[in-house]
Amino acid sequence: MKRRQGFLMLISMITVFCMSACQGETDGVQVLIYSDMSKGMKDQLIEKAFQPDQEIYDVHIFPAIPEKLLVEITAKEGDVMFVPEELFKTYDDPESFQLLGEMGRDGEAAGRYTIEDVKTGKTVDYAVQISKGTKQLNGYTFRLNREMVAFIPVYAKKSKEALSLIKQLRENR
């Protein structure tokens, strides 16, 4: 009987330890990128574009499949997400995203992902399109081969830093 109780106690302690290890939060902005890019390109992007500010960014690159996006959103992971535009269409729900303000020029909303802010009555973006083409991030130049959409989930903790990253990528049109 005591052996059995000891075994159950050991299993319980291991379970609690594993669960607490999974709850660890990072200090940086959690960036989730959904893309079909090659492993070499992923490694270069992480090493050269995000490595200079490693304490700022915690980058994860996943395959561009809708199920993975839904899993991460359901798990409340990520401060900012970059997804192919066709993948974004499967989860385009403005109430699930933080309002980004006016990302365009001259006080106008930047594009097709806009709504009216009920508090201010102004048109604001809830997601923004990142155009394909040459981009630069922290001195590293790379090329996007497809239109991407960037958004900040409503549960994100590092919104200000995430918005800064989105603006930096939008400036490189």
**pLDDT tens figures, 93-121:** 888 898 887 655 445 555 788 888 888 88
pTM, to two decimals? 0.76
142 band by pLDDT with thresholds 50, 70 and 90: confident
Q: Is 107 in contact with 15 (CB distance < 8 Å)?
A: no
Three-state SS for 94? helix
Distance CA 135, CA 169 (A): 7
Phi first, then psi: give them for residue 163, nearest 5 degrees: -65, -40
In angstroms, what CA-CA distances link 10 with 7, 17, 115? 5, 11, 53
Q: Residue 164 has which token pair?
A: 């800064």
Q: Is 139 exposed, middle or buried (0-12, 13-18, 19+ CB in 10 A)?
A: exposed
| Cα–Cα distance, 128 to 117 (Å, whole number) | 16
Mean pLDDT for 72-92 is: 90
* CB 100, CB 129: distance < 8 Å: no
